A and B are shown apart, each in its own frame.
Chain A
Amino acid sequence: MRAHSRVTSWTLLSPWVFAFGLFGLFPFLFSFAASFTDYSPIRASEARFVGLANYARALHEPAFWSALSNTALFVIGTIPFTTALALALALAVQPAFRGRTVLRVGFFVPSVVSVVVLSLVFKGLYAADGSLNTLLRALHLPAPDWLLDPRAALPAIMAMDVWSASGYYMIIFLAGLEAIPRELYEAARLEGASSWDCFAHITLPLLRPTLLFVLVVNTIRSLQIFAEVFVMTHGGPLGRTTTLVYYLYEQAFSRFNLGYASAVAYLLFLLSLMLAWLQLKVVGGRGAKG
């Protein structure tokens, strides 16, 4: 049999070679280099090597730490809820019953709509005289001006994120659940195991790879929250909703500190890698009860 023609192989592969080189690898390496300079596009030829100054500046900049802590709060405050809700929904809609498809589809709807649209809708719902506050006042509950209150703004965006992301991860959990052999549950039932026993000793351990995947993907996504902030708060009030990517965007495109912003981007990249690795160790490794 003839061997594959090399020319044909390269031709077929060329889109990726071109795209990966021009829009992937080159930018990645370029920004790594730029992060050690005081690069600015206005005077690109004068860029000077500044060593680790940009990184040092980030670590001394209160605004950077504030963005980092807002992002950390966001991650810590949303991921447990999103994961728990997504898993609960997946368990609830897995067995065959009438209306299950409607539920699956309904829960997934927020995941297909543009984040900008969702953010505009929630901006309207969260307004001082918005529908949420009308409801809260009717129930005699406190009704702050959600997006203008420094204490309420970030939690409000976080609540929206839990709401919009749960359906997506529900679908991924469903796939994990479908992959667990039915016989395991039947055998356990015969031995007299309760629903809780089945969940704790069959579902949860076998779902671990899926759980890990959901945690990693959701963490990386949550580190990148941007559109919500851009549309709903512009980073305010008092910088309380400035996330890392919003900070990065402001530094790069409002203040044109491209060298500094590149360093911040690399710190974000390192943070994503570290968190993914950590979760791989904690959830993926052999835990105490594994």
Chain B
Amino acid sequence: MSDSAPAVARGTAPYRALWLAPVLVAMLLPSVWMVAISIAPEAGNSFARALRGPFGLDQYRALFSSAHLGRYLLNSAVVALAVVSLNVVTAAMVGYTLGRRRVPGDRFWTVGIVATLMLPKQVLMIPLYLVIARLHLLDTYAALILPFAVDAFGIFLVRQYVEQLPIELEEAARVDGASDWNIFLTIVVPLMRPVLAVVAIQSFLASWNSFLYPLILVDSDRLRTLPVGLALLSQTEHSVDWGFLMAGSTLASIPVLAVFMAFQRQILSGLLAGSEK
């Protein structure tokens, strides 16, 4: 099975294809269905009719004219951009500090990070809602950004990475009289670039696909992100317009799929770093 001998591997290949090919088809068919339904305005939810055409982008146009999809897209993009930038900056600062420096209570802060990673996030949905309400931030961009600006997972990744970096460069700079900030900004941050890329991609995917918190923290239509907008659109329609919903779903999927295709390596390495804790 996990044999490395090429002869054996070649020998089992046909059998492998026999069951892997149908699994691959099953994994990808729903996406094909989504795109097909979205570009065949007369198909309803029939795959057979969708494949026969006629094809057109009417349903995409309808999304922007009759629904506020453009607005949802913009909101998702603004929130993702802010969350990603803040995450990269804060993960670099905090991860480096916990990985390298002596700080009072560092054990406490680290335990807090691990506990946050393990805790089911939904447990906090009520008190987090109340905190945001008390700060008078309900129904603002800040509600969609601030609670997700500092993420335990990103900090954890950076901390693990920093601990593996050789310390000599930093010590040499210190002997030469460089300030703490200088060392951090000119030596450490450039060395952390690979892990910060992982943090950026992970937080982009999480932010773009986030649903429960944007649903409860924002009420007005003009602040809805794409997943919330789509979910609520699917429920306000009297008769479900599948082409319309699938056009929106396709648009919502393109950015994450593009990022995934472009950064497979970083995404998978982030995943694996998480599993090695």
Point out residues on A near B: beta carbons under 8 Å: 1-2, 4-6, 8-10, 12-20, 22-28, 30-31, 34, 41, 89, 91-97, 102-103, 105-110, 112-125, 127, 129-131, 134, 163, 167-168, 171-172, 175-177, 180, 182, 185-186, 189, 195, 198-199, 203, 210, 213, 217, 220, 223-224, 226-227, 230-231, 234, 245, 248-249, 252-253, 258, 261-262, 265-266, 268-269, 272, 276
Contacts and interface: CB of A to CB of B under 8 A. Distances in A.
B20 A185 contact: no
Closest 10 CB pairs of A and B: A27-B127, A19-B150, A15-B90, A31-B127, A114-B209, A116-B227, A12-B97, A16-B94, A117-B249, A175-B272
Contacts of A195: 1, 3
A167 B24 CA distance: 10
Contacts of A127: 45
Contacts of B97: 9, 12-13
B183 to A, nearest CB: 10
A9 B103 contact: yes
A124 B1 contact: no
Contact of B180 (A4, A13, A107, A123): A4
Contacts of B118: 220, 276
Contacts of A189: 3, 5
Contact of B246 (A120, A130, A234): A120
B234 to A, nearest CB: 6
B102 A203 contact: no
Given A113-B31, A127-B45, A105 B264 contact: yes
A117 B33 contact: no
A114 B227 contact: yes
B30 A12 contact: no
A123 to B, nearest CB: 7
Contacts of A124: 33, 37, 45, 242, 245-246
B249 A34 contact: no
Contacts of B33: 121, 124-125, 131
A193 B226 CA distance: 54
Interface string B39-57: 0000001111000000000
Interface of B: 1-5, 9-10, 13, 16, 19-20, 23-24, 26-28, 30-31, 33-34, 37, 45-48, 89-90, 93-94, 96-98, 101-104, 109, 112-113, 116, 118-131, 133, 146-147, 149-150, 155, 171, 174-175, 180-181, 184, 205, 208-209, 211-212, 215-216, 226-228, 230-231, 234-235, 242, 245-246, 249, 252-253, 256-257, 259-261, 264, 267-268, 271-272, 275-276
Nearest to B47: A131
A134 B174 contact: no
A220 to B, nearest CB: 6
A31 B130 CA distance: 10
